[in-house]
A and B are shown apart, each in its own frame.
Chain A
Amino acid sequence: MEDIDFENRHKIINKNKKVVMCLQCGTCTSSCLIPRYLKDYNPRMSFIHALYGSRKAIENPTLWACSVCHTCQDRCPEGVNPTELLISLKELAFAEGLAPKTVAQGTELVLSTGRAYPASAIVDSARERLNLGKLRDVDVKDLNKIAEKTGLREKLNKLKG
């Protein structure tokens, strides 16, 4: 293991100051449902890597498996806000173009259709059955403007590139 990367540590801590309180007790990991299905997934390790300013905190591919159920956040005895921290780590990873392709595709979908899921024929027939009426098109002009101004578009391009 390399030395502590203080610059990177500060970058992460600034996103979520409570992470310094982490005692590595493991309540988060033992509360989490994901490790039952994904052996390599371990939120505690994300936090120790965050504290050391390690690249592993953001390069970790299983980071994206978090289902944002907030159980760890409920139970963390030190008030670290683990779910928030995982979200910040994802943000940092996304900015560096480290998110999985599926995340980029999902984002593209929102920007192009205004929806997180594609409006397919199955969706249409289901809505008809439930008397919900047909889906209307969404105006994504403003959404794309925001993406442009906030730099999301640029980050997306980086991810795709």
Chain B
Amino acid sequence: MTGPDQQEKLRIGVFICHCGKNIGAVVDPAAVAEYAKTLPDVVFVIENLYTCAEPGQEEIRKAIKEHNLNRVVVASCSPKLHEPTFRRTLTEAGLNKYLFEMVNIREHCSWVHMREKEKATKKAMDLVRMGVAKARLLQPLEDITVPVKKEALVLGGGVAGCQAALDLADLGFKVNLVEKDPSIGGIMAQLDKTLPTMDCSICILGPKLVDVGKHENINLITNAELKSVDGFIGNFKVKVEVKPRYVDMTKCNGCGECVDVCPVILPNQYDMQLKPRKAIYCSFAQAVPLVYAIDKDKCIECGMCMDACDLNAINLDQEPQEINLEVGTVIVATGAEPFDATRKEEYGYGKLENVITSLEFERIICASGPTGGDLLRRDGGHAKKVGFVQCVGSRDEKCGNKYCSSYCCLATIKQAMLIKEHDPEAEIYIFYTDIRAFGKGYEDLYARGREEGLIFIRGRPSSIKENPKNKNPIIVVENTLTNELMEVEVDLAVLAIGLQPTEGARNVAQMLHIPIGADGFFIESHPKLKPVDTPVDGIYICGTSAQPRDIKDSVTTGSAAAARASIPMGAGKFSVEGITSVLVHPEKCTACAICTTKCPYGAIQVKEKGKTPAIIIEASCKGCGTCVADCPFKALDQRHFADEQIFAQIDAALEEDPEDKIISFNCNWCSYAGADLAGVSRFQYPTNVRIIRVMCSGRVSKEMIMRAFEKGAGMVLVAPCHPSDCHYISGNLHAKNRIDQLYKVLPSKGIDPRRLRLEYVSAAEGLVYQRLIKEMTEQLEEFKKQGIVKTPVKGG
């Protein structure tokens, strides 16, 4: 990063706040002010009773004008509290808001050293010196604002995607809805009834599908897949490939004459292969668009459909077609896949003919399904005694799916109730581990199920055998409520299969640069507060693409994602803070692409490895600085948290008695706030810690740590967020990796590795921070005694 503008003479103003008695009763503000006057380039120093109050702010504005200040340092409370306030003050006075540095002498000083007034005053002076050192190197910056196109892309036409598309379209945005299948509708279109109300699924979904098909703002692209995505929020450039359906969409009117003549008979996926379809087909009666498609792999090209079609809609020479879109936002609603029950071999699915999945059950019990709604076995007999096995492919480490699929418990009860509706005498067993009935009206359905006489057996079946005489499945289970073994022979066993991530999810994640969790589902930006945002601005997730969900939650998150996407599109623009990464030395960049592996946002890219230098997409950069710290060639830097600025802070902190000092690198979101909390809670700790704020622990480079040791620091602490809590997803892990590497190198440089510590501190762990500093101070004393930390001979 470039140094201070040599043309411009630095004129720094320092404002020391008393904060009433909060600071003034412990730290001596007058002494600190006197000291500040001795610091280089400081031309104006004043004490305020309350700098943040209007008179205090007015003094800043006045001083900027009268003394021609071009850098401002306020020593008061935490920047997390008033940095925005003072930045505004600077803007009002016509100074760039980034020419401001805040020194925390309240939370990190007067409040935590209440009984050590002298030492606290001394520390406050050090902190002001550090602040001025950084202020001397500050550069004016501009926030980045990008225009946002008022057009969205929705990936996936299940119920979540349809809901998101409809909401955005109703808000007046243009929506491109891309669906991989020939029709929209997703898994919900295959279900017989919904829970807990027992509404007919297609009856409530059908009209929604029609609305999507007819909406003037929705461009429905079916039988298509995502090819590539480029760009960032506001302007994503998207390539979509429409696969040929061999039927001209503009001509086909869905009459179905072609189907009657087609001689090729195949199993219908929509009916879980339980019902036949032809090579030319339409998935289901309510399909949208109601246009036929030809299964080209199976078509024998006899041409009979072409003869039958009066509209000449059939075109066997159709080619894939590429569509280019430019959209402002993207909503991912790519859904999930039903668990493949054959993987749970002990349940015999695929081998035992009377073991079926819950999705097959939905088709069988549906009046428009393969048996017209009769619960028939493969031998044609009526199933009177049915056993439902829960958690098949869920909560099961062996299947790789450790999570609860959440919808199956109630779906099973619903299915059991459907059997009871058809046949009140039916005997129904439900083998479960827990019944999770958490939604509105769900407990009622569970209660109704019990009233209807469903038998709940608590226990996870170990296996399903077959009675060779009648092909009845025999479910082997321990009833854990009675400690008894049971072998229950039923006419039909239904496996309640869970949901798992789609095969294509990884591909989509790669194209969009959005992260995938250990379970294979897309991860939200924050599990509580940003449940449909992804870490990438302008990209949102909903429905079962993020986790297994039932219909209601899919619809809810579909609407939520639409609402979130409408914010930047409605505003027409999107701003990011100017603290982004920057390629300061393009000549040093070898295009090694290491930085691209550190950035969770895809904000830094290398088009051709080893050839073209890294490109920073500033609109996507969140300003964590992890790429900067890990750049082996020092080609990158971060604005406002530049290497030079942080080195200046380290040097200033260690000007006096460095061997007594602990340099603590705190991330803005967790450990800095944790130290603030220690202050607010008045948790007292020794005065020898000097905190340097970075946005993310990922910003702390090996060079920074080494610089601190070179300058004689007694100990160095790097305090990241707890492992899965990083505000920047993975910065803390990169920090840890870096420090682990450093531990191996330190002994060769004559530094005891115990002097460097990495400790996770959350924003709620003020107490942890206090204990940590106390403990490290004791440790440092011990190190000094043992000669591990050398005390220089004064004046020698």
Contact = CB atoms under 8 A, between A and B. Distances in A.
Our verdict on whether A and B bind, yes or no, reads yes
A147 to B, nearest CB: 36
The A interface is mostly helix, strand or loop, or mixed, namely helix
16 contacts: A1-B479, A1-B482, A1-B484, A1-B486, A3-B488, A4-B429, A4-B455, A6-B427, A20-B451, A20-B453, A21-B447, A21-B451, A24-B481, A45-B482, A48-B482, A51-B455
Contacts of A1: 479, 482, 484-486
A129 B484 CA distance: 57
A52 interface: yes
Interface string B444-462: 0001001101010010000
A51 B453 CA distance: 9
The B interface is mostly helix, strand or loop, or mixed, namely strand
A13 to B, nearest CB: 8
Given A1-B486, A4-B427, A6-B427, A52 B447 contact: no
Interface in A51-100: 51-52
A46 B77 CA distance: 65
Nearest to B486: A1
A49 interface: yes
Interface string B477-520: 00101101110110000000000000000000000000000000
A3 B488 CA distance: 6
Name, among B455, B479, B484, B489, the residue most crowded by chain A CB atoms within 10 Å (CB to CB): B455
A73 to B, nearest CB: 19
Contacts of A45: 482
Given A1-B484, A4-B429, A48-B482, 11 more contacts: A1-B482, A1-B486, A3-B489, A4-B427, A20-B450, A20-B451, A21-B450, A24-B481, A49-B482, A51-B455, A52-B455
A21 B485 CA distance: 23
Contacts of A24: 458, 481
Nearest to B425: A6
Name, among B427, B479, B481, the residue most crowded by chain A CB atoms within 10 Å (CB to CB): B481
Contacts of B479: 1
B433 to A, nearest CB: 13
A21 B455 CA distance: 11
Contacts of A49: 482
A48 B455 CA distance: 10
A21 B447 CA distance: 7
A23 to B, nearest CB: 8
B709 to A, nearest CB: 60
The contact size tier of chain A is 10 to 19
Name, among A3, A6, A51, the residue most crowded by chain B CB atoms within 10 Å (CB to CB): A3
Query: Which 6 pairs show the lowest CB-CB distances between chains A and B?
Result: A1-B484, A20-B450, A1-B486, A48-B481, A24-B481, A4-B455
Nearest to B485: A1
Interface in A3-34: 3-4, 6, 20-21, 24
Contacts of B450: 20-21
A4 B429 CA distance: 9
Contacts of A4: 427, 429, 455
Contacts of A52: 455, 482
A56 to B, nearest CB: 8
Nearest to A21: B450
Contacts of A6: 427
A48 B482 CA distance: 8
Contacts of B455: 4, 51-52
A1 B482 CA distance: 9
Contacts of B486: 1, 3
A30 to B, nearest CB: 15
A89 B447 CA distance: 23
Nearest to B479: A1
A24 B450 CA distance: 13
A74 B776 CA distance: 56
Nearest to A78: B447
A24 B453 CA distance: 16
Nearest to A22: B450
Contacts of B453: 20
Nearest to B447: A21
A3 B474 CA distance: 12
A105 to B, nearest CB: 33
Nearest to A49: B482
Nearest to A2: B486
Nearest to B429: A4
A24 B434 CA distance: 12
A4 B477 CA distance: 14
B436 to A, nearest CB: 13
Contacts of A21: 447, 450-451
A52 B488 CA distance: 13
A21 B451 CA distance: 7
Contacts of A48: 481-482
A20 B451 CA distance: 6
Contacts of B451: 20-21
Interface string B641-678: 00000000000000000000000000000000000000
A71 to B, nearest CB: 22
A21 B443 CA distance: 11
Contacts of B447: 21
B131 to A, nearest CB: 60
A1 B179 CA distance: 51
A82 to B, nearest CB: 16
A4 B455 CA distance: 8
A13 B227 CA distance: 61
A45 B484 CA distance: 12
A45 B485 CA distance: 16
